Amino acid sequence: MFAFEVVDSLPGPDGLPTLGRTGTITTPHGEIKTPAFIPVGTKATLKALTPADLAASESQAVLANAYHLYLQPGSDLIDQAGGLGQFMGWDGPTFTDSGGFQVMSLGVGFKKVLAMDAKGIANDEVIAKGKDRLAHVDDDGVTFKSHLDGSMHRFTPEVSMQVQHQIGADIIFAFDECTTLMNTRAYQEQSLDRTAAWARRCILEHERLTEQRADHPYQALFGVIQGAQYEDLRRAAARDLAGLGFDGFGIGGALEKERLGEIVGWVNQELPRDKPRHLLGIGEPDDLFVAIEQGADTFDCVTPSRVARNASLFTDTGRFNITSAINRRTFEPVQDDCDCYTCTHFTRAYLHHLFKAKEMLASTLATIHNVRYIVRLVDRIRQAISDGHFYPFRDEFLGQFYSTRA
């Protein structure tokens, strides 16, 4: 059982239709009201939080990483445990990514943020032959070295489907090649052909596994649109995958921050309106507004939880570091009107103390706040669309949030 329904459409400031909308995704483990921010629990746990903390943040779903879980504890073990949700004590909807980004990013040593910064450097050779290369891509799949113990493994579209079926998330992604902005146009084209072929193999294997495991809850398969910063490639990829019968779509790969809205817009103009669209790895407030306006429905990102563990906390006036001396005797919450457990029970002074004393509770309380902050921000955006106030809300929010950036 999987469904998506558009609820409200977002008219632009000029009254003309935009790609933006609110909606409802229905999965075997419950509904997701969209747009929605989906926190990342890489290894079947959102770092530093219990599932009860996660539920209290009003997160509607969690996304885990197939690559990590395949290596540890093993996807067969999660299958035996009754699937990801059962294993990690999370009742709600779950996602897994395909493992493609991880096996390849570990392989070439790039990070998404680096890709965003290093635009325009055509560098296939360096990427392909890097010293620390842990992954080799060919037309059939990817051979990679475990970051845990150096053992060799191979993912193909079929293996990724098998692994994701064992993990058993409600929403899974097709195995794709994830390129960087440093790759040449020629390489991007070649890679897109590969991703298109892999998408077809994923669908076939997914159908076979769905039939074979008919006693398991239905898993929805999302195709992933690549194409880097090239409009023609992105549009062609979206049109191609739109015809293959996927349950929804992921927008992946190299995305320049300044052109995020444009790229998401190209893709979503080509995709069918009645299927959900997940933007992979995006979670900064300004990016969320842009992507939602351009028709993205769900988002996952490690940023809120990762920066929390580094003492960086979100507020309506931007992010700040709680370890700064000014917080030592500030007996106020992180944010006055935040409804999270951290803000309703503790002061900045206490969080400052916990970080200075290197107490684990520091990461927990900071993560509780940041996750709730971003989840609630997207909930507020959804409400603003429903109420017809998206643009004033956006302008007011972003004006305040980025006001401290001189």
Catalytic residues: 97, 300
Dihedral sign, Cα of residue 7, residue 295, residue 391, residue 280:
positive
Q: Measured from the CB atom, is 276 or 304 closer to its own copies?
A: 304
Which residue lies nearer to its own copies by CB, 3 or 52? 52
CB of 367 to its own copies, least distance (A): 9
Nearer to its own copies, 14 or 149 (CB): 149
Q: What span, in angstroms and rounded, lies between the C-alpha atoms of 108 and 133? A: 5
| CB 250 within 8 Å of CB 362 | no
Using CA atoms, how far apart are residues 71 and 159, in angstroms rounded to an integer? 13
- Angle, helices 231-242 vs 185-212, to 10°: value is 20
Side chain identity at residue 65, one-letter code:
N
Minimum separation from the CB atom of position 67 to its own copies (A): 13
| Cβ-based nearer residue to its own copies, 103 or 354 | 354
At 201, phi and psi to the nearest 5? Answer: -65, -40
Residue 386 Cα to chain centre, angstroms = 24
Enumerate binding residues for its own copies (CB under 8 A): 43-45, 47-53, 72-73, 77, 80-82, 87-89, 328-329, 331, 341, 345-347, 349-350, 352-354, 356-357, 359-361, 363-365
Q: What b/e sequence results for 14-44 when a residue is b if at least 16 CB atoms lie within 10 Å of its CB, and e otherwise?
A: eeeebbbbbbbbbbbbebbbbbbbbbbbbeb
Q: Pick the closer one to its own copies by CB: 87 or 222.
A: 87
Minimum distance of its own copies from residue 76's CB (angstroms): 10
CA distance 170 to 204: 18
Structure tokens at 46: 């959102």
